[in-house]
Amino acid sequence: MNFEAVKAIYLFEMARTRRTLLQSVVSPVISTSLYFIVFGAAVGSRIQEIDGVSYGAFITPGLIMLTLLTQCIGNGSFGIYFPKFTGTIYEILSSPISMTEIVLGYVGAAATKGMLVGLIILATAALFVDLSIAHPFVMLVFFVLTAVTFSLFGFLIGIWAKDFEQLNLIPMLVIPPLVFLGGSFYSVSMLPPFWQAVSHANPVLYLISGFRWSFFEISDVNPLVSFGIIIAFLGVLMGLLVWIFRTGYRLRN
């Protein structure tokens, strides 16, 4: 394992975050603050509690997941797409670096940036509501697994994308609706039976429910099922990654 190569890619990607602090850190914090102000005033005044948890605290895990997913996918996809766009990907592929080391560098940096922003959102939320984490270790496991899985997902999107339109298609048009419809701001038990069944077909519901359980021990689905879903998704992504490396799909061609 060439750890110097992994370190070089990792530090290069992390340096890009320092150059774009306004977009990478300030913007998510402002957005989260607006969510608490708007939803706290408009919805929180009508819904005081959900399953014994104040509405402001209830939506916090959903907001963290919304930020974590979008940040990890965006960072993971842009990190590998930009070298393709500029042509420097060929320098990386021709260097004495294995595909595993490339993935560790890019995905590791994307996951780190996503988790840093997620922790900042958690700290921001604590300014608005009283938070308690019933199971810190479980929360950390879901947090890290989600960051790594969706950073890898973003990495695959960056390889697949032919232009900036395709690059932004899934992060901007697919992920936010799934998060909003996955119980971020409500419990699916509040929905009619038909829409409850529809919601259970949304994979993001399982991530948010498992993450919320680690905070308040309340969940729309069994947290073990949530854990199994994310592990299965990670396995599928790793299988796709192996296939891409073997075929050179949109990397060497």
Please state the rounded mean pLDDT for residues 78-100.
83
By the 8 A CB rule, do 6 and 105 touch?
Answer: yes
pLDDT at 85 over 80: yes
Sign of dihedral through CA atoms 72, 82, 246, 156? positive
248 or 104: which leads in pLDDT:
104
Q: What is the pLDDT, as a whole number, of residue 149?
A: 94
pLDDT at 156 over 70: yes
Q: How confident is the model at residue 232 (pLDDT cuts 50, 70, 90)?
A: very high
Q: Which pLDDT score, from 0 to 100, does residue 175 have?
A: 84
Query: What is the pTM (predicted TM-score) of this model?
Result: 0.90
pLDDT, tens digit (0-9, with 9 covering 90-100), for 106-124 = 999 999 999 998 998 888 8
Query: If you average pLDDT over residues 56-60, what whole number do you get?
Result: 86
Q: Band the pLDDT of 179: cuts 50, 70, 90.
A: confident
What integer pLDDT is reported at residue 234 of this predicted model?
A: 93
From 156, 228, 216, 158, select the one nearest 183 (Cα to Cα).
216
pLDDT, averaged across the chain: 85
pLDDT tier, 169 (very low <50, low <70, confident <90, very high otherwise): confident
Q: How much is the pLDDT for 216?
A: 92
Whether the predicted pLDDT of 40 surpasses 60: yes
**pLDDT above 90 covers what percent of the chain?**
29
Portion of the chain with pLDDT greater than 70, in percent: 94
| Residue 193 confidence class, pLDDT cut points 50, 70, 90 | confident
Residue 253: the pLDDT is 57
**3-state SS string over the chain?**
CCHHHHHHHHHHHHHHHHHCHHHHHHHHHHHHHHHHHHHHHHCCCCCCEECCEEHHHHHHHHHHHHHHHHHHHHHHHHHHHHHHHHCCHHHHHHCCCCHHHHHHHHHHHHHHHHHHHHHHHHHHHHCCCCCCCCCHHHHHHHHHHHHHHHHHHHHHHHHHCCCHHHHHHHHHHCHHHHHHCCCCCCCHHHCCHHHHHHHCCCHHHHHHHHHHHHHHCCCCCCHHHHHHHHHHHHHHHHHHHHHHHHHCCCCCC
Q: How far, in Å, CA of 203 to CA of 205, rounded?
A: 5
Query: For position 47, what pLDDT does the model report?
Result: 72
pLDDT score of 154:
92
Burial 111-120, CB ≥16 within 10 A → b, else e: bbbbbbbbeb
Please tell me the predicted confidence (pLDDT) of residue 106: 92
